[in-house]
Every structure is written in C-alpha cells, then in structure tokens.
Amino acid sequence: MEIFIRTLVYAGFVIAFAQLVRYVAKFLGVEQVEKGFQVAKKAVLTAAGLAAGFVGARALMGITESQLYQKMGKGLATSKIPLLTMVGQNMMTKGPIQRKERVDKYEKEMAAMSKSDAITFSKTNAPSPLDLVAYEKYLALINHMSQKGWTLSDQQKDFIAQHGNDPRFNVKAITNNSPGEFEFDKDNKTIRRIENPTIEGAVERLSKKKVDDLKGVFNGTSFIENTKEYKEAYEKGKKDAEGKGITGEQAKEAGRDAAQTALEHLMTELVNKLTPAQMATLYKEIGEEDLVQNGWGGAKGRFMKAIQSDDTARDKFYDMLRASAALKNLSGITPPKKGTANHGIEEEEEISPKPTPGSFE
C-alpha cells in the first residue's frame, strides 16, 4: 500500500514537473514538447486510474487522507518550485477538508432526529475506523448529542477515549456537556477521558466553565450521577435492594438513599466552588423533570438536605440564593432573612416552580 501511495504522489510530481517544462516550451514556441506532454500525461493518468480502480474508491479516499500521503504533500509544499508547491498544498488540504465536510453533512442530517432515537443509536457498538461511513456518522452523532446537552452512552465515551485525537470532534461541546468526565489536553491535542471522576476533580473542572458555554449543552444530571462516590454508592444501594426483591422505582430510591452521604460531599463542594450563576445553571440544566423525579429539588429535597449537613455550606448557599433571583427561582428555595436563626425550611416551597424567562444573575 505504501508503494501505491508513493506512486500516486510520483505521478503528481511528474505531471507538475512536465507542466513547468511545458510552460517554458510554449514561451519558446517548441511545439514538440507540447505534444510530448499530452502523451506523457495520458500515460501517467491512465496508470494512476487503473491503480485507483483496482483498490476501489473508498480505499483511495483513505489513501489520500493517510498520514503518509499528507506527509509527502507537506514535503512538496515546502519545495521552491511553485507548481510542486501547489501540488503539495492540495495534497495537504484536500484530505482534511473532505473529512470535515462529511462529518458536518452527517450532523446536519441529524437535526431532525428525536432524542429517543439518538439515545438508541448511541448504545450500539461503536464502529471501527475501517468502516469509514459508520465511523464518521457515529462521530457526528456524538457531536450532535453533546451540543443538545443529551447524555452520552458508555459506548460513546469509550469511542471518544479511543479516538480523542480526531480533530473532527466538537471539543467544546463534549467538554461542556460532560466536564466531569472529559477535558482537552492542549499539549497532545486530544480529548482526555477521566474515568470514575472524583467529586473534587469534577467540581473543579465545572467551576472553570463559563455560564454561557454551559447553557443548553451541560448535562447536569449526568454530572451528578457519574461522580465516582455517588455512582458507586447508588449502584450498591440499588443492587442490595434488588437482592431483597425490590424492583423498579423503589430500587432506584434505595440507591438514592444510599448515595445521600456522597451527595452531601458533592453539594458542599459545589457550593464552595461555584458562583451563584454557575449554580443556577446546574439547576437549570438538570431540569425540573429530573429534579422532581430524583427528589433533588425544592426546600425539602435531597440537594437542600445535603447542603444543610454542613452549616458553612448552608449559610453560603443562602447567600447565593439572595444574590441570584434565577437560582432562587430554579431551586424553589427562599432563603431566610440574613441574620435570623431560622433556616427557612418551613417557609420554603417543597416543589420547585417552573423557571421564568430571563438571564442568570
């Protein structure tokens, strides 16, 4: 295969060099050179065409996008002969541009895809790069779901970890969708996966994100559920309940009960590290449905109970509520007047109201 790639490059070299000779010949009026060029060009292109037909269109596509082909293109692009420089530049850019355009096209086609269909497809086995179309469509699906703020499947996370240096990944969307589990390694230009992220590490990465970058992209529920301590406690509690014959929502509730201590640690870290606007974004991107279903929202929900386990965190959270009308509205919690001993539990609403339009404060 390497010999074939070199042959294609050499064919381009021969034609480019012949073009140069042809240009000079025309300037001098030597017609024989022009005739010779046409014969040579036909021979070279015929040989290259036969070879391309032999390996197939898809294989040829892979060849022109290979590292070797790109490397040889770079060599020609840095030559001092103008025509060879143009050939080299075309070799260097044609592959990457085509690759990006195909993924962009697949993403646009997914615009009408429903969330349920996307989640179903996300759980299929990740394709090999050798299956070019399937690979690029799977990559496009990851970009699409990340931008929508939807939960990425374990298969997709493994795929990102394996192919994180593919420049066609939407790095910003992926790292903002799942800041607890992914970060961009600038030195190696790759997306790095943090498996079983600690609470401290996940919150630290989230705290560095801009609110505007998180809006509509950040998956708050996944962030909570995939921190190492919470996930392990939840799964153990759920499994123990199922071992006793408890199933369905009751088993999940048992898991959430078991994870409450981990949630206390998590909420304390969040209160200490996030700004009021970031905390409001966390509540918003979790969404009212998940806040209610998981028993997290409201004055008597699991989040508030976790925060109240630490007096310092509780008082700081009340200050955040006083500073941000958006956080107060999204959480459904009304803080007590500053300086009072009452912690405000009885006066607060138990179920969070629907958020009202407006910017975060």
Per-residue pLDDT of the chain (361 residues; tens, 9 = 90+): 555 445 545 555 455 544 544 443 444 444 554 455 454 445 444 544 444 444 444 444 555 555 665 566 666 656 666 655 555 555 544 566 788 999 999 999 999 999 999 999 999 999 998 898 999 999 999 999 999 999 999 999 999 999 999 999 999 999 999 999 999 999 999 999 999 999 999 999 999 999 999 999 999 999 999 999 999 999 999 999 999 999 999 999 999 999 999 999 999 999 999 999 999 999 999 999 999 999 999 999 999 999 999 999 999 999 999 999 999 999 999 999 887 655 554 444 443 444 444 433 3
Judge whether 81 lies within some domain.
yes
- Closest by Cα among 266, 280, 284, 279 to 219: 284
Q: Where are the beta strands (DSSP E) in 133-216?
A: 182-185, 190-193
For residues 13 and 25, membership in a common domain is answered with yes
For residues 202 and 187, membership in a common domain is answered with no
Judge whether 102 lies within some domain.
no
Token output for 2: 């390497």
How far apart (Å, rounded) are the C-alpha atoms in residues 33 and 46?
20
For residues 293 and 200, membership in a common domain is answered with yes
For residues 157 and 69, membership in a common domain is answered with no
For residues 273 and 352, membership in a common domain is answered with yes
Instruction: Please tell me the number of Cα atoms within 13 Å of 207 on its side-chain side.
Output: 14
For residues 356 and 231, membership in a common domain is answered with yes
Judge whether 208 lies within some domain.
yes
Q: Which residues pair with 182 in a beta bridge?
A: 193
In order of 5, 7, 177, the CA distances from 1 in angstroms are 6, 10, 40
- Judging by DSSP bridges, how do beta strands 182-185 and 190-193 pair with one another? antiparallel
How far apart (Å, rounded) are the C-alpha atoms in residues 193 and 171?
12
Domain that holds residue 37: 2-96
For residues 182 and 248, membership in a common domain is answered with no
For residues 203 and 351, membership in a common domain is answered with yes
Judge whether 103 lies within some domain.
no
| Number of domains within the chain | 3
For residues 187 and 221, membership in a common domain is answered with no
pLDDT at 326: 96
For residues 12 and 114, membership in a common domain is answered with no
Judge whether 205 lies within some domain.
yes
Computed over its alpha carbons, how large is the radius of gyration of the chain? 29
pLDDT at 38: 56
Instruction: Single out the residue in 150, 172, 195 at which a domain terminates.
Output: 195
Instruction: Single out the residue in 180, 195, 210 at which a domain terminates.
Output: 195
Q: What's 310-352 look like in SS3?
A: CHHHHHHHHHHHHHCHHHHHHHCCCCCCCCCCCCCCCCCCCCC
Q: Give the H or E element holding residue 308.
A: none
Judge whether 101 lies within some domain.
no
For residues 65 and 38, membership in a common domain is answered with yes
How far apart (Å, rounded) are the C-alpha atoms in residues 258 and 264?
11
pTM (predicted TM-score): 0.71
Phi, psi of 335 (to 5 degrees): -75, 150
For residues 48 and 190, membership in a common domain is answered with no
Judge whether 181 lies within some domain.
yes
Judge whether 104 lies within some domain.
no
Instruction: Single out the residue in 46, 70, 96 at which a domain terminates.
Output: 96
